[in-house]
Amino acid sequence: MATEGSALTPGEYIRHHLVHLTNKKQESIVDFSVINIDSVIVSSLLGALVCFVLWLAARKSTAGVPGRFQAAVEMLVEMVDSQAKAVIHNAHSRKLVAPLALTVFVWIFMMNFMDMLPVDLLPSIWHVAGPAMGYPDYLRVVPTADLSTTLGLSVSVLLMCLFYNIKIKGLGGWTHELVTAPFGTSKNPIWALLLGVINFLMQMIEFVAKTVSHGMRLFGNMFAGELVFMLIALLGGFASLSLGGGLFFVGHVIAGTVWTLFHILVITLQAFIFMMLALIYLGQAHDAH
């Protein structure tokens, strides 16, 4: 992208960087036949890396004085476990939910961390390798800046919530809750039917709203962060093209450094928020209204 990118306008540069490597052209606003290959590959590789690192930490753990690596992982485990205990009071459920929450936190952090790489680092490599293999010259390396990734994660949390609603309350108990919460019911058959319909609609709206907001929150923050890094990268481009490039270069370095330091907090906080919301929603699935 270095050679081609110098001929692009700022708008074209940003638009190029916002296009995914896909299996086909999207034909409608919602097109489930389109697969963002870059998001799938990057997230899968990072997921495998996270699982390997956590497995390695468990394999090498000792009862004595822990090393730095073991101590760091133990701190993460204790943090997630304490949050899970505060939200989910079923000890049997925590055996699955707590490790899952730990994996989600570390996995999302790693996907967010891809935003810390230089904007043109991997795309410039793909600019040479991709077309040579017959693929388009598009590549996005931040999976959480892809709405399909974040909504996929939030839908997975929704499916787990439905599973625990049925497991903990039973199919009959959960069905009863769907038509009696949050407004209760009535002994009058007509009012009971009316309240049942309203309660059911409110429950469905709640499930949809929680799922959409869960995924959109992570996507929105990471997409905005990605755009800011692109704008900062453009300052570096102007530094090499303009006569006053020195000022642009200074602005590029200062803005890049400040935003990178701030973004370390953002990517960690967003991973933690997503994990905590997942725990809260799963905790609600254990509680009866």
Active site residue 6: no
Cα dihedral angle (93, 103, 226, 246), rounded to 10 degrees? 140
Residue 236 has pLDDT above 80, yes or no: no
- Global pTM reads 0.91
Active site residue 165: no
Which of 46, 16, 259, 241 is CA-nearest to residue 120?
A: 16
Mean pLDDT of 167-192: 94
pLDDT tens digits, 66-118: 889 999 999 999 999 999 999 999 999 999 999 999 999 999 999 999 999 99
Instruction: Calculate Rg over the CA atoms of the chain.
Output: 23
The whole-angstrom separation of Cα 119 and Cα 231 is 10
pLDDT tens digits, 15-74: 999 999 999 988 888 888 999 999 999 999 999 999 999 999 999 888 888 889 999 999
Catalytic residue among 6, 213, 240, 242: 213
pLDDT tens digits, 254-285: 888 999 999 999 999 999 999 999 999 999 99
* The residue type at 23: N
Query: What does the pLDDT read at residue 243?
Result: 54
Active site residue 33: no
Contacts with 166 (C-beta within 8 Å, 6 or more apart), sequence order: 174
